[in-house]
Structure 1
Amino acid sequence: MIDWNDRWKEFLIEQGAVVGDDGVRHFAEADPHAQSRLAAADDILADLSHLGLIRADGPDAAAFLQDQLSNDIRRVDAGHGQLSAYCLPNGRMLALVRVFLRAGAYYLQLPATIQPATLARLKLFVLRAKVTLASADREFVRLGLSGPIAPRLLRAAGLTPPEHTDEAAEQDGITLLRLPGPHPRFEIIAGLEAGQRLWTTLAGQTAAVGASAWSWLDIAAGVPMLQPGAIGEFIPQMVNLDLLDGVSFQKGCYPGQEIVARVHHLGRVKQRLFLGHVAAGARPAVGVTIRAAGSDQGVGRVVDAQPAPAGGYDLAAVIDLDRIETALYLDGIPGPRLTLQKPPFSTGNF
């Protein structure tokens, strides 16, 4: 359940939002497939309260995160964020987080559904470190903006947008993050009043959509967030985090580092994340098994699935590389086979 900023939630409802326990479901356009069509072609605006925030601050914050996450936290500054994994000792991921710096504190963004458990586990390892970890869900409001003219809209609102993926900028108390996507895509982190002003300004020039459309953009970019059902299932390379600059193989130890490094240095990854589509009548659940035709053996799992613009569901799934040319089906979902494509950033055979 989302830890809402109540005043922000009330503001969104006044703007026409239909809100559920999992975030904003829709505004004027209720059909989730139509919302994905808007995200695929037009300029859209979304509330991102379905994503949680963990704040890490204090003299030892950077050193603490360096010891816990897969990426090199020293590369995070006011102008650059990064993706990173938080892993178990066996290398399997507990969370995929987006890390950014704001006003001297580090913030880890991840799905709100797994934020409390992730925060509780991180706190176990603070020990004597001079670092404070806390939920920051109520501190800021977060807006998502994507579309062909998104940079122009930000400039018209008096903001200078970052030009490249993972770049960040802070201006007048507003943080901008550049995200990957089929169109220029940005996250805006601001205080309540500034967020309300920006929403009012941008809403007149965009289509407001629910959380599922924003998650569809994550899938289209090949960067789905890990949800319950996918926790503890994958090492970072399986979800292509090494290809997304989300793993440093030069930094020191962190939970799971030995396994992650061994896979990198000694062997080919046997599973990778692919994008897919299935003409199913219901959304495939996170973690559902993917099977090859004529076999009871699982060859992959769904990481996330969202309504596709043309109907059916687009999904991200980790698949055995030696089975990607075979006919694949979702376990327990009768109907057409699963069609696959590589993420937009992949090259060759991974």
Structure 2
Amino acid sequence: MSATPQKTTAENKVKLSDIAKQTGYSLATVSKALNGKADISDTARRTIDKALKDSGYVRRISPERRQQTIEVVFRDFETIWALEVLRDIIRETKQHGINVMVAESGDRQHPDSAWVEGLIERHPIGAILVFSNLTEKERYLFKSHNIPFVVFDPSGSPTLDDLSVQADNWTGSVIATRHLLELGHKRIGIITGPDEMLCSRARLDGYSAALAERGIPTSPELIAEGDFTTPGGYEGAMALLEDERNRPTAIFAGSDLQAMGVYEAARQLKIRIPEDLSVIGFDDIQTSAYMGPALTTVRQPLQDMASTATRMIIDTTEGRQIQKRVILSTSLVVRDSTRRLVRP
């Protein structure tokens, strides 16, 4: 049992069997609600929780149960981007003597319920969630067990009460597109991320806003949806470049990994970068500087994002006031994959 009862009088203790009788639920259901199990209804959970509070039953986590660990969950762990984020989280936690546990959800937007239940049982000092927000039930479980969580680069819009950290995706996309426009490009393709992800929509909106500044309408034929992976970038680039007469002169890839896919598509189509096609990415992962040619990209401050998310967990645990929503600035890194458009 992960909680201990608080005395209501000197002689009396609240018993779970009393809560079961009071609420009409079984002892097993009361125990599940108390220990954060997911396989009970929201109605039962709220009713039992209220009865526990009204009766003076207080959840207590014994000091030895709280692990000096932060759990980090990724949708997958197959990309350089994920490795860089993890490296930067570890760099920060080491300074505080905190361990890191990593989980893979296998879902772009949400962890599976088994991971959530397991985390409640392990009771780390906090969790960093690299995906969209939790469900209301899961948010309740985290908060009722005093486990703070930070949504890192959220896929959806965080609630006002959630802790979150992200980059300024809209501004980053604006400066990337402006860079291409200043080089004389007007027919600029974009390979986005998944439409349901907040950062992807922000980058597309920034691209459209920069075009609108020059009076250039957004053309659907120049937009390809990707998934922030290299294969997705390759497929998007092939779709944009297959019609030789209507090819864009530049492509803004929504991530550096997608830019790698653009490079491969250009190689297969015998399109030279940057002579025939300018390419710009987003993230500035380590390998972008070593691509051939070196990739012009938007630097997403991954190290600052990772350290900020980690400190938000630590500060919350230690009772300090923090800013709940942090948006960090992006910047342009100009290398060799973009050049001024030269018309014959």
* Structure (1 or 2) with the greater strand fraction: 1
* Structure (1 or 2) with the greater helix fraction: 2
Normalised by the length of structure 2, the TM-score is: 0.23
- Which protein shows a greater Rg? 2
Normalised by the length of structure 1, the TM-score is: 0.23
